[in-house]
Amino acid sequence: MSEEKPAVPIRPAATVLLVRDAPEFQVLMVKRHHQIDFASGALVFPGGKTHQGDHDSAWEGHTTGWHDVDPDERPLRIAAIRESYEEAGIIVARHPDGSVYHGNPRADAARADIEADRRSFLDLIVELDIRLELTALTVFARWITPDMMPKRFDTWFYVVSADSTQLAAHDGRETVDAEWIAPGEALRLAAAGERTVIFPTRMNLQLLAESSSVTEAVEKSRARTLVTVLPKVERREGGAVLVIPPDAGYGAVEESMSAIR
């Protein structure tokens, strides 16, 4: 009798779509290092799984909008901001007087230590005397990795207007490139085989491409009913296809499993 394989744990994760309007409507994407075991070499949005430090209750005094965000979502939004800092060098935050944080050499120098868990992200934010802007993030989508995958994530996607004065820079470890790109152009490059874009990223690029400005992208996200996307494999005459809920905002999607990246 064959033994049942243990269920793959689903890890909470967060991804951030940093968008800007100049010189055109663009989103920040990073290229994953080829030695990373998940989505190696792919063009993705900054993101990753939550860390223990993202759940620290001490964040209450170092964020804005703490009481306006559901308690279960707070660590996800903190993780999204932390990942945008680790992978692209951008922190979505404000100074105590309410002015926008534009970056700091000390933050640039600390990235490697934060990413390697030699120092906590909270410790850096306290040193910089800034507040993470939790309500600047708007829920864009939520995807759960299919159950046939060896690693599974419950990933929340957030869209946020990026501060144009902060320069994006890859970390050289998890990511090897960072670029601002129009969603439609990223899709074109993927279709031409010039970029590797995995299925969830491509679907969310298509959804983002329905907007032509930061304001429109945020407003559409707020108006959209959040439907959690758990892709499933179904059999068709031509072979297996991956399908997602038709009411999730992406339309009717049936993707051949042979074409999935």
**Domain boundaries defined on the chain:** 10-226
The first and second tokens of residue 101, run together, are 């944080």
Within 8 A by CB and 6+ apart from 235, the residues are: 241
pLDDT along the chain (261 residues), means of 10: 71 97 93 52 90 97 98 98 94 96 93 94 98 98 92 96 70 65 95 91 97 98 96 85 93 80 62
10-226 belongs to which CATH class?
alpha beta
Distance CA 60, CA 240 (A): 47
Q: Cβ distance 61 to 53 under 8 Å? A: no
Q: What is the pLDDT of residue 31?
A: 85
Distance of CA 244 to the CA centre of its chain: 19
Q: What is the pLDDT of residue 100?
A: 94
Q: What is the pLDDT of residue 24?
A: 94
**Nearest by Cα to 19 from 189, 193, 207:** 207
Q: Specify the pTM.
A: 0.90
Q: What is the pLDDT of residue 36?
A: 47
